Structure 1
């Protein structure tokens, strides 16, 4: 087993999309379709590869830089009902997350780049909202999203835990970099349906001290840490 800090963390900070819920491919497909309707052709797989972990503002800024096209006013508002409908018909909690949370020996919270309305809706659809509320934090609450450390530092502060006593579970390079910048232990999760060959190595290269593909592995780590 790869070496980890000897002390059990006081807090586990979970990303939401791609960690707690298997939502990334659903969201990428909805976004790909909506972008195509405004003249920006980009496959869902490319969106997943380029943009998982980033805020909407960061995604749209990069798309404008790459394509020369601005996102039309009202785009998010028009896309949101389609995403919510897709979540309501296809969203599932990540396999193993319910068992992990039931046995978790330390405190936990959520810190996500998603806006609060999407974050709360997706957690509710997956049956996880009541497990985490009110300890749910969104990038909308900070000046800079991932890969900046602001969101994770906010979560730790609100939970009353020092950054060095936190483990962060992330599926994206931006999230791993944010956890590192916050002075936290970054763990990579590569078990979502959007993760392709090579994804674990990308998380390691970003700075994850350990990458796992089953959430039971996190439970095992916590069981042996003291």
Structure 2
């Protein structure tokens, strides 16, 4: 059903990879460790926002003073996620789309996660061989909802943005796809894939 597009871009967390519980565990341990309140609806609304920016928003929202640097808190969360990722992650139903078009059309992951973390997670899922390029938040000047992530994917694939389709689970990601001039597919609306992240 996606034959009309020349290239495919997947968001990772909550889209191609079921990782909601992984990141909920990572955030819960991190926020408790640094004594930052946890507001589940707020955390869910920040899905796809890079770690450091999420921490900044939380500190500002709750008027809390940071007990450590953003770098230290980011690194702490990354360590937690890396240690337990193998227990939690698995591909979603979108793996069928990836399998269908791998080797037929270029496929990228455009994610708010950092590139190394994303590569590790798709490795745990056993799907790295299906993905041609991975673009994380560390590879662009402005993460989602800016279009940079998806435009970088298109550039790496050698395909014009208007010929790319983006699969996303978050409003920020769908906005980024629209701003990039790409067709955005809301995986919850179209495919019934829901990210079980701070539900």
CA contact 2:5–2:164 (8 Å) conserved in 1: yes
**Kept in 1: contact 2:107–2:130 (CA 8 A):** no
Partners in 2 of 1:195 and 1:68 — Cα distance?
Answer: 24
1:72 Cα shift?
A: 1.7
Aligned to 1:151: 149
Root-mean-square deviation (Å): 2.3
Total equivalences in the alignment = 190
In structure 2, the CA distance between the partners of 1:196 and 1:119, relative to structure 1 (3 Å rule), is: closer
Cα deviation code 1:27-85 (max 9, x no counterpart): 02320221022111205x33542211111132122112112233622122222222122
Query: Which residue is equivalent to 1:184?
Result: 182
- Matched residue of 2:97: which SS? helix
Q: Could you say which residue in structure 2 is the equivalent of 1:217?
A: none
In the aligned structure 1, how far is the partner of 2:121 from the partner of 2:77? 15
Q: Which has the higher contact order (CA 8 A, sep 6+)?
A: 2
Q: Which moved more, 1:79-88 or 1:9-18?
A: 79-88
In structure 2, C-alpha distance between the alignment counterparts of 1:16 and 1:40, rounded to whole Å: 26
TM-score normalised to the size of structure 2? Answer: 0.86
Gaps of 5+ in 2: none
Matched, 1:55 2:57: no
1:196, 1:189 → 2: CA distance? 18
The SS at the match of 1:87 is: helix
* 2:8 is aligned with 1:9: no
Deviates more, 1:58-67 or 1:158-167: 58-67
Taking structure 1 as the reference length, what is the TM-score of the superposition?
A: 0.76
1:64 aligns with 2:59: yes
Matched residue, 2:117: 118
Q: Is the 8 A contact 2:50 2:137 kept in 1?
A: yes
How big is the shift at 1:193? Answer: 4.1
- Report if aligned partners of 1:25, 1:48 keep a CA contact under 8 Å in 2: no
